[in-house]
Amino acid sequence: MELINFSTDAITSEEEVRELVGTPHEYVVKKSIPVLDEHCKRFIEMSPLYFLSTSNAEGQCDVSPKGDFPCGIQILNNKQLVIPDRPGNRRVDSIINILSNPHIGLLFLIPGLEEVLRINGRATIIKKPELLNNMSLNGKPPLLGIGVDIEECFIHCSRALKKSKVWNTDSWPNTEDLPSWLDIFHAALEHNGVEVKR
């Protein structure tokens, strides 16, 4: 397989980007606020699914889906919230990234709603029992939490979810011909030289 050299005739400056796409309307720029207002708080409280974006000090990125019961995130005030780190596969990619680079992005979804809430800020890995004990699930508090100091919040337009028809079950593809998650998992292990007993 021959790789494409993406750097050939690539865009390398914001000026070049702006020449092609133009500038955003004033309303689009000024919809961003540095605090959680009541609308943002309510959006987070109703969201059972969100995505956490992090990168390490070298700029290697990761986006991790997080599912929790609505109101699973603790909103402390209009500038801070805490995300519980529920037990999982122990990779803790996001946690490790935050240790070397605190900048994070969050994307919140509400089932059936085509708009999303975006939040950017700085994160700290916390273990304060007085905060984590309030976030128990099935009687178990998280061992760690992600404290977020909020820098930017804004509602994102519905174009992506509307065009993808993600909430329209009639448009969902038939997944019977797709490999199972276990098939994909085993294939990745074998790619890395692990012998898998089937």
Q: How do residues 107-118 score in pLDDT, each as one tens digit?
A: 999 999 999 999
Domains and CATH numbers, the chain: 29-166 (2.30.110.10)
Task: Answer with the residue of higher pLDDT: 70 or 150.
Answer: 150
Q: What is the mean pLDDT of residues 148-160?
A: 95
Q: Who contacts 156 (Cβ-Cβ below 8 Å, separation ≥6)?
A: 107, 115, 116, 117, 118
**Encoded tokens for 161:** 């979810």
pLDDT of 70 over the 80 cut? no
Q: What is the pLDDT of residue 20?
A: 94
Task: Give the residue from 74, 87, 79, 48 showing the smallest Cα distance to 128.
Answer: 74
Q: What is the mean pLDDT of residues 170-186?
A: 90
Taking the alpha carbons of 77, 42, 140, 98 in that order, is the dihedral positive or negative?
A: negative
The residue written with tokens 């979804």 in the block is 109
Q: What is the pLDDT of residue 68?
A: 82
Q: What is the pLDDT of residue 87?
A: 80
Q: What is the mean pLDDT of residues 125-144?
A: 91
Q: What is the pLDDT of residue 191?
A: 93
Q: What is the pLDDT of residue 136?
A: 87
Confidence grade of residue 122 (pLDDT, cut at 50, 70, 90): very high
User: What residues pair up with 66 in beta bridges, in sequence order?
Assistant: 50
**Encoded tokens for 135:** 């976030």
pTM of the model: 0.91
